[in-house]
Amino acid sequence: MINSVEAAAKILLRSKYIIALTGSGISAESGIPTFRGKDGLWSKYKPEELATPYAFARNPKLVWEWYSWRMKLIKEAKPNPAHITLAKLQNMRIIKTLITQNIDDLHERAGSRDIIKLHGDIFTVRCINCIFTQKLTNPPIEIPPKCPRCGAYLRPDVVWFGESLSPEIINKAFIEAEKADAILVIGTSGVVMPAGLIPKVVKDNGGKVIEINIEETVITSYADLFLKSKAGEILPKIFEKIMEIRRSRHV
Ligand code: APR
């Protein structure tokens, strides 16, 4: 089996429409905890107490304390080489579309654009009662924050367990999956739907699935290439290999 960095680079170079799907693992090297696995958030906190509409109705202060903590963590974090490399591949149009499950802004801060954010954005808040919405730069001072328009509570504009994703965002993501002849799946356990179906759509259409993860997942069984590595370490190597092959072809 030729070196998997080289194999990945060759697949990407001969593909016409490459998309990427990322999960919390791509932000792990920036110091943002993932959800599952031994140090994951769900090993310390109960999602049903913090990430559901019922939890918010029951205890908006607790939910907001948790999201404020995560907002601070993300603000202090920096995009890592994985985010930066994806942004470079996107700006070179090698990657056509970036779809993320993450609610952090590290892809944006790395330079990625037109990101399909399946689960929302932690820095956007919306009123539970009226149409008010606002982009924050810092965690709210008042916890839980109140809508300046109607006085009801503001909530993070993210998708909680038990809630459905916005149909137009799902639609956009699956149209991209249908168009793709290759997908880079980075740092996701692939267990949350509908995001977990996206690589399968590419595969079922005859596209190539390249998975980057530090351990096997439910996606590995049908991936064409499984690169067992930290995203921040291997993505720059794949980028370098792509550039090297391109240069050698222009000799
Ligand atoms: N490089 C690559 N992969 C990594 C790294 C790393 N440095 N560190 C961890 N991983 C992998 C883990 O092995 C795991 O497979 O990232 C994956 C993270 O999986 P989860 O914690 O389940 O996160 P994710 O797949 O993004 O969860 C999906 O679940 O809780 C909800 O809404 C939340 O968007 C989230 C969704």
For residue 37, the model assigns a pLDDT of 81
27 ligand 1 Cβ < 6 A: no
Q: Whose CA is nearest to atom 36 of ligand 1?
A: 192
Q: Which residues have C-beta within 8 Å of that of residue 2, sequence separation ≥ 6?
A: none
35 ligand 1 Cβ < 6 A: yes
Q: Whose CA is nearest to atom 9 of ligand 1?
A: 25
100 ligand 1 Cβ < 6 A: no
- Confirm whether 250 is a catalytic residue: no
Rg (CA), the chain: 19
For residue 81, the model assigns a pLDDT of 98
120 ligand 1 Cβ < 6 A: no
User: Tell me, what DSSP letter sits at residue 6?
Assistant: H
Ligand 1 atom having least distance to the Cα of 212:
2
Ligand 1 atom having least distance to the Cα of 215:
13
Extract the residue ranges of the chain whose pLDDT is less than 50: 1
> What percent of the chain stands above pLDDT 90?
93
Q: 130 with 154: CB under 8 angstroms?
A: no
For residue 35, the model assigns a pLDDT of 94
CA of residue 43 to ligand 1 center, whole Å: 13
Tokens linked to 197:
């179906």
Q: Whose CA is nearest to atom 14 of ligand 1?
A: 189
For residue 23, the model assigns a pLDDT of 98
Nearest to 140 by CA among 128, 150, 153: 153
204 ligand 1 Cβ < 6 A: no
215 ligand 1 Cβ < 6 A: yes
For residue 38, the model assigns a pLDDT of 81
Task: Return mean pLDDT, the chain.
Answer: 96
pTM of model > 0.85? yes
Q: Whose CA is nearest to atom 7 of ligand 1?
A: 230
For residue 2, the model assigns a pLDDT of 56
214 ligand 1 Cβ < 6 A: yes
For residue 251, the model assigns a pLDDT of 60
Ligand 1 atom having least distance to the Cα of 23:
26
Q: Whose CA is nearest to atom 29 of ligand 1?
A: 192
Q: 195 with 101: CB under 8 angstroms?
A: yes
Q: Which residues have C-beta within 8 Å of that of residue 216, sequence separation ≥ 6?
A: 226, 228
